[in-house]
Amino acid sequence: MQVLAEAGEVVVSTEDRPLTPDELHDLIRGASAVVSMAFDRIDPAKIGPELRVVSNVAVGYDNLDVPGFAERGVVVTNTPGVLTDATADLAFGLLLAVTRRLGEGERLLRAKQPWSFHLGFMLGAGLQGKTLGIVGLGQIGQAFAKRALAFGLRIVYSGRSRVAPEIEEALGAKYLPFDELIATSDFVSLHCPLTPATRHLINADVLRAMKPSAYLVNTTRGPVVDEPALADALLAGEIAGAALDVFEKEPEVEPRLLELDNVVVMPHLGSATVETRTEMALLAARNVVSVLAGTGPITEVRP
């Protein structure tokens, strides 16, 4: 807030919830800058001529019509880089939680259910020597891969294009076409942006093509996964489990997923550390100050 105050008067929503589109557009009427969250949807057709910058506190910007803002001369910025490690940590935590049945075990104890140790008790899936398929080997995908190497996983990846050879070499990562990655990976982790091409990238057909012993992890955007299809696949035993930090219709979750012990769910906590959220907020504020001062954006999103 102190950084934003350098640019002028700051108006903050008094609601502890996402604003409706009408409420949001009423609040920002006449503003020179808007600091938006990933769930805020701003219509470029409804903005005033004073607006110069929309600073999104997220890496993803699928909530914003970037070309539409560009046509009106409005700069859009995001917060890349500062949340890479926190999100990769959470993604790997989810992988461990679902494969080692951590949530299931904790629920058993909290429910005070009887239990005793034996060799077949609550067996999970080990990671060492198995294949991890990463969909989208960008900054977060690469950070996730580095963590996976320490656990003895083989790395394969797919995406819109291959990464630089030196990155492949450092990670021991092999590029595969998406269909081959899906069919051969023991664990699939999603790190691709939400675009028209990736909406429901993980659908019923893709889930059927995965190994019955495979696990799915999603920490990118909820609509990359068709949630009802995922529930169907889990109930049918087409895959072994799933761990999700994001959902199609947040904060709603496909009800059947909440009933399954082989599903781990988190309320969009990928970047939720004090350090990371502070850096995200500061970068968003500095983008606003920089644009309004005429020195240009720090991390611009280009159409």
Catalytic residues: 221, 250, 268
Report the alpha-carbon angle 138-80-11, nearest 5: 155
Angle at 84 between CA 82 and CA 261, to 5 degrees: 135
**How far apart, in whole angstroms, are the C-alpha atoms of residue 55 and residue 76?**
6
Closest CA to 80 of 163, 162, 140: 140
Sheet holding 263-265, edge to edge: 173-175, 154-158, 131-135, 187-190, 215-218, 241-244, 263-265
Token pair of 135, please? 């969909």
Query: What tokens appear for 282 in the block?
Result: 């500061």
